[in-house]
Structure 1
Amino acid sequence: MWETSARLLHLLSLLQLKRDWTSSELAGRLEVSTRTVRADISRLRSLGYPVDARPGVAGGYRLAAGTAMPPLLLDDDEAVAVAVGLGVVATRRLGVEETSLTALAKLAQVLPSRLRRRVEAMREATSVVPGAELPLDLAALGAVATAIRGHERLRFGYTKPGGSEEARHTEPQRLVAWGPLWYLLAWDLARDDWRVFRVDRMVPHPPTGARFRPRAIPEDKVVEFVVRRVSKGAWRYRARVLVHAPAAEVAAKILAPVDIEPVDGSSCLVELGSDDPGRLALWMAQLDVDLEVVEGDELAEAFDRLARRFRRAAGDAPTT
């Protein structure tokens, strides 16, 4: 005989497994009377589970969609599939990365060790095609996302670009995905200022439990702020380019967020940078539109070298 709490969980798992159950079927599975089944159904309803009943001799029960999300019961294979799926979604640019990470963090907290090993084995056995997204430390991303959602101060070790390491104590504000990299916008408590950290260089410490009140920063300015901070610190060369194409068309082709200022309906100014002006010229050429360098002698020289190389590659082909 099942204890009441265990029987309720078993009843819930049965309702989630199959669309319709008769009272006698449930009673047989639970080894109780149909009267006990009716009582247990009432208990589930009181906990927020929307269980519909069909009257009559052939009547029965069905778990329906409700107005709120009740807890779900997953078997081992389903839990592993959800964990792996959330990890995949977190690496894509679908607009739900942070939510996926917090959900993954919650799931990871309750996964038994045997299932954790299965999830890790699947990740370790998976290869990434060169040029695709970089491998992510989902545990670090999940810890950061959970701290952001819970407004909890975050301590972590951080490896600076030069290779030195230091400890940071922050109030994490927002995760920003830029190309293959993730950045954390946070208030640095030691420096009393906003800072941007690359998540792949972070090693989060155990949760502090210390809460904080989020500082004011306009939601639509977060990406712009992070891009400007990262650009100023990372780009050796900066340039402004007049692109003869509508701003919306250029923004759709340039996946990384850069400063795009519309000039008119058919052109825009793009401010961007790179460590290598030659690579930047090649990247801009892939837009397949007419360009003019407004500022940036290094980029103009790189375009000239690229043009000569292309002319040599074309040989004696006629020009138009």
Structure 2
Amino acid sequence: MQKTSSRLLALLSLLQTRRHRSGWSDSAGRPDWSGDELAERLAVTPRTVRRDIGRLRELGYPVTTVKGPAGGYRLDAGTRVPPLLFDDDQAVALAVALHTAAEGTAVAEDAARALTVLGQVLPSRLRHRIDVLRGTVAAPARGAGTTAPDPRTVWELSRAVHAREQLRFDHAGEPGTAATAPRRVEPHHLATRHGRWYLVAWDLDRADWRIFRVDRIRPRTPTGPRFVPRELPARNVSDFLTGRLRGTDGTTPDWPCRGEAVLGRPAAEVAPFAGDGLVEELGPDRCRLTTGSWSWTALAAALGRFDTTIEGVGPAELRTACARLATRYAAAANGGAGADAGSRAGAD
């Protein structure tokens, strides 16, 4: 039998769960549980349930006894907000909703304070899910035909990529085309381009590399066995995606200056602001951004706007531009005149 404290939490969680069985919910939709049902779910006697209901009432939870043939219990609204229980999915959804509300809504300040409180007690295992959900929910559409993927799908694919587990999923083709058989793949990389998420994977049935639009993927469970990653037939994920997708996803011609850097932020946070760049997920709090600009200086300045650590910068021209900007910004912070004006001609 569970300890009393654990059992009380389990009982409270059940009472908070909405019941949909006909004849049990009142007009306000509040759930009722019979004593026998609660006893069965908790593996205790109805007498123990009655004692635990009394303890919850002493703690301030307004549990009402419902009259009827078998009797029942309902958690009503009270005069104050008691402690609440949330499962993992509910906690993630609440955090994403609060983050959205904290950005420019009428309750922004209160939402931000509530998000801070939630973040203090949130288990670390949920934080990556929140980063992915928050980024995909907030990401704006990039051009006609762009469809936001299911955030849960993004998270499931990301987990499989990092766990190196084979995936099975249904993949919808272009509108009007027949559905294909379930795909079996070794997922290698999850990346975004022009605001659209892609999965780069080795197709086991076709024995070749494939790129799948994440908004068309419906994962199947369970995942398959672990695999040893194959070598991608390109210098990096950016080159592979650019080569395969050029001209098929509304891309613009290459910029005269293109480079990459590893940023200390989740891919989902960087993707909505990456423009026509490609964002490759490297971990819960790291991603590689490959993008371009009209000059190396402009590209170096663009990296700074993410306000995070910057590593793995390349090529050499981009590293030089970063060093030049660092010198100028340091001089500006000290009230100086900035970098040597004579170097401007070669800056870009």
TM-score when scaled to structure 1? 0.39
Which protein shows a greater Rg?
1
Q: Which has the higher contact order (CA 8 A, sep 6+)?
A: 2
